[in-house]
Amino acid sequence: MNEAKNITGSVGQKPRGLRAPGPKGGLILGVMPEFNRDTLAFIERAREYGDIVRMRFFYLTVHFLYNPDHIEYVLATNAKNFIKSRSLRTPFFRRLVGNGLLTSEGDEWKRQRRLAQPAFHRQRISSYGDVMVEYADRMISAWKQDEARDIHRDMMRLTLEIVVKTLFNADISGEADKVGRVLATMVKPFASQATLKWILDNRLPTPTNRSFNAAAREIDDIVYRLIAERRSSGSDTGDLLSMLLAAHDEDGSQMTDRQLRDEVMTLFLAGHETTALTLSWAWYLLAQNPQVENNFHSELDEVLGGRLPTVADIPRLKYSEKIAQESMRLYPPAYGVGREAIHEFDLDGYRIPAGAQLFMFQWATQRDARFFAEPSRFYPERWTEEFSNGLPKYAYFPFGGGPRACIGNYFAMMEVVLLLATIGQRFRFSLLSDNKLSLMPAMSLRPAEGIPVRVVQRQTQSNNHLSTID
């Protein structure tokens, strides 16, 4: 098999069946306390053991994979031997997204993916572009010169409204803050003592569990209401919710409210926070890199000259796209993906047992100096066609890969470029905190305390256009 040869060839020959090296950790919990104390630093340190690093989290055997060829093997080439990792099967995560696209397996996943796929076809997605621009334009029309804002909070609100409007044809502007707050409460348990949550149950009446379960009920109410309204109106608005409602199994049965709820919640969550983070980190990086920001503004002025962007402009907004790519390289919203091995297997001479948890970190591999010169520099210019073509496929994988790759990849890229262009035409941001932001690797890579900025109006023709909606 070619792939197998690649893997062995890329990192040298070893006798078969060895255990990979790795940190020992404590007697009972293994490396879990160290991992929880400073997750990103731990991921960096563990890399020193090699490309495949073995360790123990409590009773679980865990491997970290840092080599793009190995990542390709697990996510794509040999994907059949893996299911999602334990971290996605915790009671907490189950309560959050149930058995939706992100977490389901086997035939159930295949069926749901097939049903959802048409909503993400390129052509379909293009029709969402106007909504994205309209909503962004509406949001910024209220912004004032010099006002202080948390740009991360704004991006979260905006992308949530957009995903709900485009995929479920509902306007939740009135409730976006509430939904945002509830979702934030729900993802909290993933930030603290994250890995213990693999094991603990959310039914114990601790304060964290109580607020988590209360938040879950609140969000359920909103989601079930969306479903009930659509069922009772009987209208097919052509959006994802209509498609899911109309879908029949071969035996004629339809999705239950519970299944629908899980899919809707999955898309609520997967479809807004990651995109919001890409935008937030892009604004953060632009504010610190005036030369890149200048180039960005030149492109906007040249391509748009003050008017609002449309989907047709995207092919000419190349530099904006590179900004998105480079932001996701340095601050990947999904900073790691996890799998569990079904059968034992050999990787580069190391034996990996059935049941082992495998983690591959965008955070580490996308900052690896073997693949990216000056890895910590924000340098969108690096993304030439030649550079992209020469890169090992899984050295850069912000959207994962293989059969379980992100279904919203094009949706997200289009949204990020259109929102960067819409907002960047009229405003730039200066950072209000001098200190480096602290990172919170929860479910996704968040700024722990938001991104406080001062809003600065740009002097372009764009200042005199009128907002298209009230």
Q: Which residues of the shown chain bind ligand HEM in the complex (CB under 6 A)?
A: 84, 101-102, 113, 163, 266-267, 270-271, 274-275, 278, 333-334, 337, 398-400, 404, 406-408, 411-412
**Shortest-Cβ-distance residue relative to ligand HEM:** 408
440 SS3 class: strand
Q: Which is nearer to ligand HEM, 61 or 366 (CB)?
A: 366
Which long-range contacts (C-beta less than 8 Å, at least 24 apart) are formed by 5-11? 6/69, 7/69, 7/70, 7/73, 7/347, 7/348, 8/348, 8/349, 10/67, 10/69, 10/348, 11/51, 11/67, 11/69, 11/348
* 56 vs 24: CA distance, rounded Å: 7
Q: Are 454 and 150 in contact (CB under 8 A)?
A: no
Q: Which is nearer to ligand HEM, 128 or 462 (CB)?
A: 128
Provide the minimum distance between the beta carbon of 50 and ligand HEM in the complex, in angstroms, as a whole number. Answer: 23
Phi, psi for residue 446 in degrees, rounded to 5: -105, 155
Provide the minimum distance between the beta carbon of 405 and ligand HEM in the complex, in angstroms, as a whole number. Answer: 6
363: nearest Cα among 385, 332, 394: 332
Provide the minimum distance between the beta carbon of 265 and ligand HEM in the complex, in angstroms, as a whole number. Answer: 11
Q: Which is nearer to ligand HEM, 31 or 269 (CB)?
A: 269
Provide the minimum distance between the beta carbon of 29 and ligand HEM in the complex, in angstroms, as a whole number. Answer: 25
Q: Which is nearer to ligand HEM, 60 or 455 (CB)?
A: 60
Q: Which is nearer to ligand HEM, 400 or 441 (CB)?
A: 400
* 159 vs 374: CA distance, rounded Å: 32
Q: Which is nearer to ligand HEM, 101 or 364 (CB)?
A: 101
Provide the minimum distance between the beta carbon of 73 and ligand HEM in the complex, in angstroms, as a whole number. Answer: 14
Provide the minimum distance between the beta carbon of 425 and ligand HEM in the complex, in angstroms, as a whole number. Answer: 21
Q: Which is nearer to ligand HEM, 114 or 181 (CB)?
A: 114
Sort strands 350-352 and 439-441 into parallel, antiparallel or unpaired.
unpaired
83 SS3 class: strand
Provide the minimum distance between the beta carbon of 399 and ligand HEM in the complex, in angstroms, as a whole number. Answer: 5
Provide the minimum distance between the beta carbon of 257 and ligand HEM in the complex, in angstroms, as a whole number. Answer: 19
Q: Which is nearer to ligand HEM, 65 or 412 (CB)?
A: 412
Q: Which is nearer to ligand HEM, 209 or 401 (CB)?
A: 401
* Residues forming a β-bridge with 251: none
* 292 vs 304: CA distance, rounded Å: 18
Provide the minimum distance between the beta carbon of 461 and ligand HEM in the complex, in angstroms, as a whole number. Answer: 30
Contacts of 234 (CB under 8 A, 6+ apart): none
52: nearest Cα among 12, 3, 101: 12
Helix (H) or strand (E) segment spanning residue 453: strand 452-457
CA angle 391, 392, 395 (to 5 degrees): 90
Q: Which is nearer to ligand HEM, 67 or 366 (CB)?
A: 366
Helix (H) or strand (E) segment spanning residue 446: strand 445-447
* 390 vs 369: CA distance, rounded Å: 15
- What is the largest distance, in Å, between two alpha-carbon atoms of the chain? 69
Provide the minimum distance between the beta carbon of 428 and ligand HEM in the complex, in angstroms, as a whole number. Answer: 22
Q: Which two tokens stand for residue 260?
A: 């629908």
